Structure 1
């Protein structure tokens, strides 16, 4: 577990004023994980029902995927046609996803041999018109000594009679494949070295103009295609800043050369367009060192299919688990010498404006007996889905955390504070079997729950004063409205409806403050999509989204729902009154005006006197909406587990799939079925055994960062950390402009200056992204905790150290126990108690200073600063 170490020496050049030896001792004893971890006690052996390797191999069957939708003959059209075969060894009785790729362990021949050739990589290339068969024989697979030949019908047509090369459909993909039109090359704004292409080829008409007509046409020579600067640069015949991208005579080179020779035409507007891509396979279990060939078929508007495997772009989201080459071969990482690693790697595949995903599940090789049974592990459906995933990864979970850990964890996550001394003592002494569930209910019913999640929502709804005198009332009112909505457990769909359709002014409807912060339609559509749909549409404002299916048309059609918002001065200075301005909703985009339409939908038919925002929210909150519920449950999952099922939590695009799709779907469905009840969702998550797992890794899951086989420790949020320090030291931080005793988590907006909150990463409320909150530990935080005047001031005076010193009714042992119960929600071990007792006895002449030293040491431990 990678935990940042606190520096012991003060880096300012001044000696630390506190005893670092004591701190070292307590930090060693309050670490969050041990080298061995907690091991689950299961016998090691052959799992029940598992067959021997020889029997498994003998029962394996061979399947050859050709890319034909109907399973008919392989059809290859034209001289430049090709087809990638994918050959799989499928174990008997196993799911297809457990198939092993044997494409490169197969032998191919064509009958008749004059019809086509097949490379050792399984690529079929035509050589003449006609029909025949491709014969596939698998060799080199252990246990497959007698494998029958697989015969595939093959038809080749129009060989040597190719239609003219279509610029957008054939040439532009070459530029995309080799990165010519990427954001780091000619596709960036302003181009590169005087030559500009549209980003990823989304504006082919502009690209043709730049290529053929700019620079006096010197980039293209239709009379001598191979002398064209375009080819000379790409093949590095003449110096090229990007180096050699294509080889002279390669298929891509020949394609561009032929397009130039044919007159470098812009293309046929009536030519079939790519309307989708299909990847095979979509998912595979891949053990370390194994590889898998994927094939990408483009689906065209005329119903035809074309193999575009060599021209598609590939990108893996987890390079520590898998890699991919330019031909679409995915390779699972070899097992190194470090801790074992498992998980799911997603391969993003892009061709033109279409995207698809292949998922590689990389399991461990741990014996299945180490996995707990569902009957003992699962407390609700969350655990069933988590365990199913862990079983597929052969990844044993950690043990259940102890009561003290759960108490502190749940109280921090739900109530935004550490448990009180009385809460801790009562909970640890309670023997009721349902006490954890009862704790969750108490926390959800407490005002602290509303404070905590109001702090969260206020930040991402951008609630902050930009002018203290004019905006104080509105910002405070909006924060209180959010808090009251959470306290009463307002259904989430109603909460969103109230914000998005807000009209009036802050005095009567505080939710209108959102429109003070997001003023124009671009901000409104982008914040709405990111906050409530989990979609980042910012890219689509200027061009087709590079990682999604959303176009600029989709962006501006959604934006049109906000086009009829009117504003006028409100009764309160500095606050606007928001109203619906009658008229037809439409938005002006770069290439014209767009009517209002939901994502993936047709233009909405809206009367001029109907507020289009109502129709938008009706679509958003409908049970069939594919984004709304999933976005919220993923956001809340991250709140409790440090990372979302989709990460980042508000980037839920097709090419960023969840690590556990079944769990995400189940949570979303349950959330919708229970009326978008936020407290029900939190109960479901926190009652699960998954949430209650220990943070201590076992011998298998130390490297797990996505499968939730253990709890992932995280630093306390800035507000929680400051409030916890206040509790431990007994000195309350005060803030100007609010009631005395107001805790950091209760502040109505971020415009309360406090260095601690700033350095510990409190969000500024400038965007809808939770990434504003900095959760990583850093050196400035350590220095502040160790030697700042702020922290040293809290330790002295009439705080907890002074009270303990003056308490004559309790011995040092009781006082030490109190400190540990307050700091860590657990009693000290005998070793810890002895260490502190010895330190106190050694400083009997100044007992208050000694207690200050102990408190200082405790608040600098990882156990205190992290939620674990």
Structure 2
């Protein structure tokens, strides 16, 4: 049952420990006052025989958890008992104390127990269903999956307790429950494995959970008061901690009800860590850090409510020396603050050769030419890296590179249908032009989400070609523009978020009045095009209730005010682009951060939620605020990221950041995308691309859609644009990719082409050393080392009758090198 508990904490210091110690007694005479202990909560009230309370013991000076090293002693075991973990259970009415002892210090926690003989009635939804959730009975892999398991179905994670009650109490003539002999109920005999159970043993006879279910059955399976308060939110104590490696932290989870009362639900909550290598969590809320430094978020979930504990685990050792790192902007300052917390020192700056190659590939998808590299190296201005970023943003290749990114997740595809070719190309060109003109991102979004017309007049309407139902619009628009995966809430309450089906279908209602018809002019011209328009009416029902939903933005208490003459989608974009919207700007920031830094502040990059927070929340907030203040200027965002000192760090680790995968204290190398890699190979081999139906030399980063035939692009992960997820573009290495580079006709024909670079170098009268230097400069952005140069020169000189083949071999080695295939 719920316990009405105080919200503050108590500390007690034994004053004797603060006295000076006589000389020779083994303690210094100026010993400081001993640490204060703090116990959470300070006082406990347990109501009914099923009430429990978890204690957490901490030091006040450092916040370190002392729960596992504490000794708990209850004054009167007829009133309450306490186990070694600090979990108190009610036994009988009365008052007692639990004494908490740590290293000679003691704190007394008063405990009061009420209504053991006359307990409040059990509430099915508030007390029984959470047991099923905790034990995994209503999970997606068991009775909570669609259709249930072996004829027994529960609602997923207990989100529909009314359905669960009907299933347990009334379905099958009540054969699962036997009030006359509760322990013989099939529900208990299956759970304790007294009779065969495919899910194995879930309950121990006599356990707290067993006793509660047994009492509920014995009392006649009450459903509970329909007007009983429900859980409004849950709170986790502590909300965050800096923890040493290999240490513990006991969490205390409290449910706050709609009437203001509270209940300890530590025992019933479910827990999950997003980085278990940094901080894992046990079923009772005990967090255990590992040997890997970093940040982890531990989700606590109870009755559809979630809260998060954030663990920061420094590497230990001496504080990092950051004196040599001079910040360029707020990105650096906020990164430095986290490095101090984690004990990380940044890597050195990358070389100028590394920077121009990195920035050129990231911003324009293009290898810098040897002339561009040499000019950059010769520039002695202190701001030349910032100038380079500005120059790259002004090049047309910038818009082409990022047009691919947006065309991928906006699903601009022909899918083999020739009738779609014209409109697909027009949508791609529209995206490219918006990026080239630096259209503010809120306006870019509005022109897509609120598009009306045909592809001829409004190319953004092509987005509506693949998406036909309101739920499809919800899934794609949320993932693309909010960085959220709402698909779960389509069928049930989102298991990791606060979103319900009402939230989902309220969002879907913004798309309920979309009308579509065939374009007569396009049909006559042999094209298949839709005209999108806004209908005067159209409702989206919640399939669970059948009730039509009014358009309502996520997290908003009231529906949007939209008249029949207004387009609901305009109201949606107004909400999206409002500065106070906490989803829109972070989604773009995280997507672009991942592009430039190799991983997002949130991973996966389109799964932003409370239970998956940024690794650096202050940095995410500052970047989002700056992006909003800039007027949603994408070039400004890129400039902020790429002119930070952070972006200029080397990928070579030092002794403090070798294991850093979250703090960005070094640059994280990333593979080139399929299109960028193919263009890079074309550049290095000197052989232009050839795509069917397109001019010779057409660049892969300029391809308007996914249907242009290329085995190379498909092998290296070009997406089919079936989803709105960037994860569809495969970045992982594979055997087929290695074989493609090592021995495919695609590569070999480029190497041996008589008009290619190998042939040109074979006929070039310059010294071999110069030609080798040129190849390395073009492929890697740097000159070869002495040993690399000597090896290459020897290879050519030893084949005087096969000089072209020798240069082919060198080119083959270069394009197969990781240094070539990665942006570093």
- 1:359: which partner in 2? 310
Compute the displacement of 1:56 (Å).
10
Q: Please, which of 554, 558, 571 is the counterpart of residue 599 of structure 1?
A: 554
- Report deviation, 1:60: 3.0
- Aligned partner of residue 177 in structure 2, secondary structure: coil
Aligned equivalent of 2:478: 529
Q: Tell me the CA shift for residue 156 of structure 1.
A: 2.8
**Counterpart secondary structure, 2:555:** coil
Map of 2:794 onto structure 1? 838
- Within the alignment, does 1:346 sit opposite 2:297 as a pair? yes
Q: Residue 287 of structure 2 aligns with which residue?
A: 330
For 1:587 and 1:672, how far apart are their aligned partners in 2? 34
Give the counterpart of 1:481 among 430, 447, 451: 430
- The residue that corresponds to 2:3 in the other structure is none
CA distance in 2, matches of 1:482, 1:57: 66
TM-score of the aligned structures, taking structure 2 as reference length: 0.93
2:805 aligns with one of 849, 856, 859: 849
1:53/1:170 CA distance change after superposition, 3 Å: farther
What is the rounded CA distance, in whole Å, between the counterparts of 1:202 and 1:132 in structure 2?
38
3-state SS in 2 of match to 1:568: strand
Please give the per-residue CA displacement for 1:65-104, whole angstroms capped at 9, x wherever unaligned.
20xxxx7x4322222112111111122xxxxxx5110123
Cα deviation per residue 1:415-466 (whole Å; 9 max; x = unaligned)?
0111112111111222211111111000001101000000100110000113
1:703 to 2:659 alignment: yes
Cα separation, 1, equivalents of 2:565 and 2:778: 59
Q: What do the CA deviations read for 1:657-703 (whole angstroms, capped 9, x no partner)?
A: 11111111111011001111101110111111111111111123222
Aligned residue among 519, 524, 544 for 1:590? 544
Task: State the distance in 1 between where 2:29 and 2:784 align.
Answer: 55
The answer to whether the 8 Å contact 1:587/1:596 transfers is no
Moved over 6 A (4+): 52-57
Q: How far did residue 811 of structure 1 move?
A: 1.1
* Superposition deviation, residue 239 in structure 1: 1.6
Cα distance, 1:114 vs structure 2: 4.7
Residues 529 and 856 of structure 1: is their aligned pair in 2 closer, same or farther, counting only changes over 3 Å?
same
Specify the alignment match of 1:74 in structure 2: 44
| Alpha-carbon contact 1:342-1:395 (below 8 Å) kept | no
Distance in 1 between residues matched to 2:733 and 2:136, nearest whole Å: 37
Counterpart for residue 427 of structure 1: 376
For residues 223 and 448 of structure 2, the distance between their equivalents in structure 1, rounded to whole angstroms, comes to 48
What secondary structure sits across from 2:88 in the alignment? Answer: strand
Secondary structure at 2:255 match in 1? strand
**In structure 1, distance between residues paired with 2:112 and 2:668:** 55
Who is 1:512 aligned against?
461
1:43 maps to which residue? none
2:240 to 283, 287, 304: 283
Q: Distance in 1 between matches of 2:759 and 2:283?
A: 68
8 A contact 1:399–1:693 mirrored in 2:
yes
Structure 2 distance, partners of 1:588, 1:273, is 22
Q: Residue deviations 1:458-498, cap 9 Å, x none?
A: 11000011353311111111111111100111111111011
C-alpha contact 2:689 2:696 (8 A) present in aligned 1: no
Aligned to 1:292, the other structure's residue is in SS state strand
Cα deviation, 1:601-620, whole Å, max 9, x if unaligned, reads 11222211110101111011
Distance, in Å, in 2 between the alignment partners of 1:551 and 1:618 is 22
Alignment check: 8 A CA contact 1:763 1:774 kept: yes
Q: Is it true that 1:172 corresponds to 2:172 in the alignment?
A: no
Q: Alpha-carbon deviation of 1:857?
A: 0.8
Query: Is the alpha carbon distance of 1:53 and 1:697 closer, same or farther for their aligned partners in structure 2, counting shifts above 3 Å?
Result: farther
Q: Which residue of 1 aligns with 2:724?
A: 768
Q: Distance in 1 between matches of 2:215 and 2:437?
A: 69
**Per the alignment, in what secondary structure is the counterpart of residue 790 of structure 1?**
helix
Instruction: Could you tell me which runs of 5 or more consecutive residues in structure 2 were left unpaired when the two chains were aligned.
Output: 1-26
Q: Is the 8 Å Cα contact of residues 236 and 308 (structure 2) preserved in structure 1?
A: yes
Q: Distance in 1 between matches of 2:646 and 2:332?
A: 6
The answer to whether the 8 Å contact 1:561/1:585 transfers is: no
Residue matched to 1:804: 761
Cα offset, 1:263, TM superposition:
1.4
Between the two proteins, the alignment pairs up a number of residues equal to 790
Counterpart position of 1:719? 675
Query: Which of 427-436 and 263-272 deviates more?
Result: 263-272
Structure 1 match to 2:367: 418
Distance 2:66 2:634 in 1: 48
Moved more, 77-86 or 630-639: 77-86
Distance between the aligned counterparts of 2:189 and 2:315, measured in 1? Answer: 48
Structure 1: runs of 5 or more not aligned: 1-51, 92-97, 140-144, 336-340
Contact 2:343 2:656 in 1 (8 A): no
Higher RCO (C-alpha under 8 Å, 6+ residues apart): 1
Residues 1:867 and 2:823 are matched in the alignment:
yes
